[in-house]
Structure 1
Amino acid sequence: MASEYRFIRLRFRLLRTLLGLWGLYLLPLGARAQTPPAAPPDFNRIEPEILPEPTPQPPKKLPPSEELLNAPPQPTPQPESPDNPNFIPVTKYRVTGNTVLSEEEIEKVTKPFTGDAVPFSRLLEARSALTQYYIDQGYITSGAYLPADQVIEDGVVTLQVVEGRLEGIEVTGNKHLKSSYVSKRLNLGAGPPLNVNELLGAMRLLQIDPLIGNLSAELTAGSGPGLSILQVKVEEASTFDVQFVLDNQRSGSIGSFQRQVVLSEANLLGFGDGVRLGYANTDGSNELDFSYTFPINARNGTISASFSQVWSRVVEEPFDQLDIEGVSRDLSLTYRQPVIQTPQKELALGITLGRQESDTSLLGVPFPLSPGADAEGRTEISQLRLFQEWTQRGNDSVLALRSEFGIGLDAFATINPNPVLPGDPNVPDGLFFLWRGQAQWVKQFAPSNLLLLRSTAQFADRPLVPLQQYGLGGLNSVRGYPQNLLLVDNGLFGSAEYRLPLARFGDNQQGLLQLAPFFDAGHGWSNTDGSRTETLAAVGLGLRWQWSDLMSARLDWGIPILSIGPETSGFDDSQLFFSIVVSPF
């Protein structure tokens, strides 16, 4: 769903009119009409003028940011100079101090104020027009003035620009989160020169950061003309979470009923670093996983490390008598960097170096039970993965895409020049190349009425070891078939689900019950000689129950449409999957 942004209360305090622009306008602006001197005047020379000091006024607060942006403040009107019979030829305006406007923009703004006989009042209007153009582009603390004592040569008038800059960012209200986490991210939209639109964009991006609960800011005058200070007040979001999960999405050979607990902290040391620790258990398995993520730059680039280990044994009859056991480990190091990031879209690139190992035994003796394992039942994979992620959010929809290339490396990996089965060219090992893709689109048609489309795919250039194969069937795949009924080298999966509300519960309507009819389909094949292609398809109904952020549950009844072997022979072999998640904190 499209993220709903909480209102960002951004107030801009104007001291001496637009953070020092009052001072800019009070700089010597050129000669006003005075008592005619005895000698003929030099009309090509602008002399400084001494203006009376203005009466100090108390600081004024501007309206909210949306009003400020819709109706930019106008420059302080200058006293009209009396009629001046003196005219000067102006062919163009030369602007100094400008770093953001193009020559074409400057000429477009100032051209109406050129001519063979231009009165001095038109020079002031050119200056005001250029200042207003800066303001219209979002540079509300920038302005132009006529330099004092300038000599106009060849009809070229100089306009000096002072472009506003952010002098500093002051962060208050944060408790555990470092101030630098906020200030560095806001600095990305602070110029120079300071543009209020870019600054608001940086604030909106920070507002949707999961570490930030709420954000407000005030822009005040700095130590000089064009300088300002951003005062930011932060309300931190809750970053600690505990989840208890019950589901039946594991393979029946090790026990499908799974108990799981996950602890996570999204801001462990105050740098925005996250840690996750999880434990899962079935009748025949125990799994432990750990991950740590650390941000390395203000553009939300991260480095993460993860480790997981699974101890398993077959408990399904009659194979439980064979004492089949296995241990698998997965270690990875990942660098992820967003290269495009706005509140509406994000493009991220990343690289992962991974290591996978598995050991199997039969009756307590190491033994190769899967294709690609060596004589001791050991499989080792060293892999380089390159991934790309794209997310786009609209007012009522979200699109997420992920692409990943996997390359098996010839480094500390299982290589089978002499396969376990002599003469079999189809035995896989640690060398391979594959591509995986994922896509998800969520569309809201009415409150709590959602269409969810999902798709995944994998294509490999050769036979793969089971650690890298593509699974079809189960709670998150083709419902209506047992978990991982098919393990193949190449596969496609698609799902369509529509969720419509049935009822709401609670005093504040925080409880929601939805009906979710669905259709799932998958197609897979392997690269070994003589392998067949298989297709799975299922329809079904689901229920979704949500109670605020504290608890959620789902129940899916899938009916297989196509039969594959004796395990899926018709309507009677439908599958019932469930999941319950409790988050008490």
Structure 2
Amino acid sequence: MPRQHFTSHMIPVLRRATFALLLVAYGSAAAQPAQDPTPSNETRFDVWEYRIEGNTLLSTIEIERAVYPFLGPGRTESDVNAAVGALDKAYQGRGYRNVVLGIPEQQVDTGIVRLSVTEGKIGRIRVTGARYFSQERILAEVPSLAPDKTPDFKQLQAEITAVNQQPDRRITPVLRAGQLPGTTDVDLTVDDRIPLHGALELNNRRSLNTTPLRLSGSLRYDNLFQREHSLGLQFQMTPQATDEVRVLSASYTIPLASWNLTGYAISSRSNIGTAIGGTTVIGDGTILGVRASRRLPSERASLSHTLTLGFDYKDFGENLLVNQQAGLQTPITYAPLSVSYNLFSEDKSGVTQASAGLILALRGIGDDQTAFDRRRFGANPNFIIVKSELQRVQNLPNGFALMGRLEVQAADQPVISNEQFFLGGLDSVRGYFEVESLGDYGGRTSLELRTPRITLLPKDFDMRAHGFFDAGAAGLHQALPGQLSPPSLASTGFGFRLRYAQLVSLNTDVAWPIRSTPNTSAWSPRVLFSASVQF
């Protein structure tokens, strides 16, 4: 075994077990003057060097820092045991929890104390219970567990946490004494389910001049080729008039070593015009994009945060009909870059979510200045948009909770409508049409008081009521003479949320707009609903 020497001019660190110091005291050590006994009558001896046998895991400097305080003249058995404890703590701090330290029987008259290290190894590794996920893939995702290797339990915990991010699979390591001395056998117990998911939703999130209902659906498989690749398909339509709105999208995600890479395509087709004053906008659009996201390290299991980089190619067609007469074609093509940061943190008193993002479009990628100016006066092909959001759900006494949310957008110049900040709708200011107000910059806020679970229904049903207040405002850069500012919106109301066994959900809100707009009268109630099934 490797042998390392640590003398009194060095500096030290290691992991803990319980050991006895077996000393055969040499005559000169036992013959110390009787007038200098220790309070416990322990034998004293000099320790000028700790000789470590069997270490391959800790660096020289780590071990030096551990044993240095216990070198010197007049040491006792307690000092040596303390050195063992310090070494044990150093191993444990590095994640090596199955290392055994020992003090061999020895003479200590030379000032040298030998300490032995037995580094426990992994013996047999088994994967049990896996039905839908490859055993080989699971083992590859936990490289800390390898035969004849001393496991780093800190790294192992991080790997298990990462592996269990897959929602359809839960892996639990079970350790037991190995068949061979000094080894540990490991069973990776897998609880998995088929990684196929789907959802169907019906709601009335209508925009102006469209039929009320929206039908959307999605289907996703998350373990293609047994490599955890994910393929997803989504659609949205107006079931009462199928030619009004049709949106199709597809996405494909590839997990890499540290990043998830996602490519997606969105196709939107609409024959419905949105009225803005005397102008009606009719538009189609195609978006091709890629996202690279990375889960950032965290010292707390209750905190997760991710960094996402993105690139989009956006091609929007749009016709402007002035007073219902054939008008101006205003298609636009551009390719913005994006970066965003997202955080989720849970504590005893509630949950915090936050995000911040930057959208950057560069001149020379896509259409020129003329196309942008035709789409929106003063808009440029190079622009910067900053977005941020903060939400907190605060637990209150007796099962109540208070949710607060704030969203803002800032832009350095006029931007085209596709990138503007919107107000109105179920996820914005309830009681108004979806996207009833648009601006280059703006903010919106929401406060919601939530009740405890209503116990009138069986335990598989989770029903809660809430009251809310929503508000938002937006503004324009370089507004044209006579152009009206985007209306500010505010509303209040109440609603219910019902969940059944993670399969069915029903959300209902009754909202009263507080401020009138050209399309919505104040205090005219609007009922919003969303019903969905998922598996």
1:512 to 459, 462, 476: 462
**Which of 387, 397, 404 does residue 436 from structure 1 map onto?**
387
How has the CA–CA distance of structure 1 residues 570 and 133 changed in structure 2, closer, same or farther, with 3 Å as cutoff? Answer: closer
Partner of 2:521: 569
Counterpart CA distance in 2 for 1:94 and 1:413 is: 69
Letter in 1 for 2:516: S
Matched residues in 2 for 1:157 and 1:433: separation?
67
In 2, the alpha carbon distance for the partners of 1:254 and 1:391 equals: 36
- Give the SS at the match of 1:571: coil
Partner residue, 2:33: none
* TM-score, with structure 2 as normaliser: 0.79
- C-alpha spacing 1:506/1:265, structure 2 compared with 1 (3 Å): farther
Q: Is the 8 A contact 2:372 2:381 kept in 1?
A: no
1:152 deviation in Å?
7.8
Deviations 1:343-397 (A, max 9, x none): 211232221010111113479xxx997xxxxx64311121111111222122452
**Corresponding letter in the other structure for 2:167:** P
1:313 aligns with 2:271: yes
How far off its partner does 1:193 sit?
5.6
Aligned match of 1:378: 331
Q: Find out whether 1:75 has 2:18 as its counterpart.
A: yes
Corresponding residue for residue 105 of structure 1: 66
The one of 296, 302, 306 aligned to 1:348: 306
Contact 1:415 1:431 in 2 (8 A): no
Aligned counterpart, 1:140: 97
Q: Report the Cα offset of residue 223 of structure 1.
A: 5.7
**Cα deviation, residue 130, structure 1:** 5.0
The alpha-carbon distance between structure 1 residues 117 and 533, as it changes in their structure 2 partners (threshold 3 A), is closer
Amino acid at match of 1:536: L
Q: How far off is 1:270 after superposition?
A: 2.4
The verdict on how the C-alpha distance between 1:454 and 1:239 changes in structure 2, with shifts beyond 3 A counting, is: farther
CA-to-partner distance for each residue in 1:474-529, whole Å, 9 max, x for gaps?
A: 1110112221111111011111112113633555x111221110011111101123
Q: 1:260 to 1:83 in 2, by over 3 A?
A: same
Question: 1:414 aligned to 2:367?
Answer: yes
SS in 2 for 1:568: coil
Deviation of 1:406 (Å): 0.7
Change in 2 beyond 3 A, CA 1:139/1:485: same
- Which of 544, 555, 558 pairs up with 2:508? 555
Matched to 2:289, the amino acid is S
Query: Among 542, 565, 571, which residue is 2:495 paired with?
Result: 542
8 Å Cα contact 2:16-2:86 kept in structure 1: no
State yes or no: 1:255 paired with 2:204. Answer: no
**8 Å contact kept, 2:407–2:443:** yes
Task: Verify the 8 A CA contact 2:387 2:410 in the aligned structure 1.
Answer: yes
Farther off after superposition, 189-198 or 408-417: 189-198
Kept after mapping to 1: 8 A contact 2:339/2:357:
yes
1:169-215 Cα distance to aligned partner (Å, 9 max, x none):
43222122233543344446999863545544543554454132453
Query: Compared with structure 1, are the counterparts of its residues 159 and 74 closer, same or farther at alpha carbon in structure 2 (3 Å cutoff)?
Result: closer
Q: Which residue of 1 aligns with 2:412?
A: 461
Please name the residue that 1:58 is paired with. Answer: none
Do the aligned partners of 1:313 and 1:324 also contact (CA within 8 Å) in 2? no
Equivalent residue letter for 1:310: S
Q: Which residue of 2 aligns with 1:11?
A: none
Corresponding residue for residue 231 of structure 1: 187
Q: How far apart, CA to CA, are the structure 2 residues paired with 1:168 and 1:461? A: 61
Question: CA shift at 1:253, angstroms?
Answer: 2.6
Cα gap change, 1:184 to 1:389, in 2 (>3 Å): farther
Counterpart-to-counterpart distance in 1, 2:281 and 2:404: 39
Q: Report which of the two has the higher share of strand.
A: 2
* CA shift digits 1:300-333 (9 cap, x unpaired): x2000111111101178999xx997432111111
2:252 matched residue in structure 1: 292
Query: Aligned equivalents of 2:78 and 2:159: distance in 1?
Result: 38
Counterpart among 324, 343, 347 of residue 394 in structure 1 = 347
Q: Secondary structure at the match of 2:97?
A: coil
Report the residue type matching 1:340 in the other structure. P
Counterparts in 2 of 1:172 and 1:315: CA distance versus 1, 3 Å: same
Q: Is the CA contact 1:520–1:538 (under 8 Å) kept in the aligned structure 2?
A: yes
- Residue 519 of structure 2 aligns to a residue whose secondary structure is helix
- The answer (yes or no) to whether the contact 1:91–1:116 under 8 Å persists in 2 is no
2:315 paired residue number: 357
The verdict on how the C-alpha distance between 1:238 and 1:506 changes in structure 2, with shifts beyond 3 A counting, is: farther
Residues 241, 324 of structure 1: alpha-carbon distance in 2 compared, 3 angstrom cutoff: same
Corresponding position of 1:45? none
The verdict on how the C-alpha distance between 1:91 and 1:380 changes in structure 2, with shifts beyond 3 A counting, is same
Which residue identity is paired with 1:232?
A: L
Deviations 1:101-158 (A, max 9, x none): 45333334x35xx53476xx679746754565457656331133458999986x3434
SS of structure 1 residue aligned to 2:428: coil
Report how many aligned residue pairs link the two structures: 492
The answer to whether the 8 Å contact 1:495/1:520 transfers is yes
Name the CA shift for 1:214/1:467 in 2 (closer, same or farther; >3 Å): same
Q: CA deviation at 1:162?
A: 4.1
**Judging changes above 3 Å, is the alpha-carbon distance between structure 1 residues 481 and 325 closer, same or farther for their aligned structure 2 residues?**
closer
Q: Counterparts of 1:368 and 1:354 in 2: how far apart (Å)?
A: 31
8 Å CA contact retained: 1:255, 1:315: no
Contact 2:173 2:186 in 1 (8 A): no
CA shift in 2, pair 1:490/1:419, >3 Å: closer
The whole-number CA distance in structure 2 between the counterparts of 1:242 and 1:200 is 31
8 Å contact from structure 2 (residues 24, 106) kept in 1: no
- Name the counterpart of 1:38: none
Aligned to 1:477: 428
Residues 455 and 180 of structure 1, relative CA distance in 2, 3 Å threshold: farther
Q: How does 1:128-277 map to 2 (within 5 A)?
A: 128-130=84-86, 132-133=88-89, 137=93, 139-145=96-102, 155-166=111-122, 169-187=125-143, 194-196=151-153, 199-200=156-157, 202-204=159-161, 206-207=163-164, 209-213=166-170, 215-221=172-178, 225=182, 227-277=183-233
d(CA) in 1 for partners of 2:513, 2:208: 18
Q: What is the CA-CA distance between 1:445 and the residue it aligns to? A: 3.2
What is residue 41 of structure 2 aligned with on the other side?
none
Structure 2: how far apart are the matches of 1:455 and 1:497? 12
Partner of 1:69: none
Counterparts of 1:122-133 in structure 2, within 5 Å, are 125=81, 128-130=84-86, 132-133=88-89
For residues 171 and 457 of structure 1, the distance between their equivalents in structure 2, rounded to whole angstroms, comes to 48
Return the TM-score normalized by structure 1.
0.73
Unaligned 5+ segments in structure 2 are 4-14, 30-44
For residues 381 and 207 of structure 1, the distance between their equivalents in structure 2, rounded to whole angstroms, comes to 38
In structure 1, the residue matched to 2:286 is 329
Partner-residue secondary structure (3-state), 2:336: strand
Distance of 1:353 and 1:287 partners within structure 2: 20
CA contact (8 A) 2:262 2:292 kept: yes
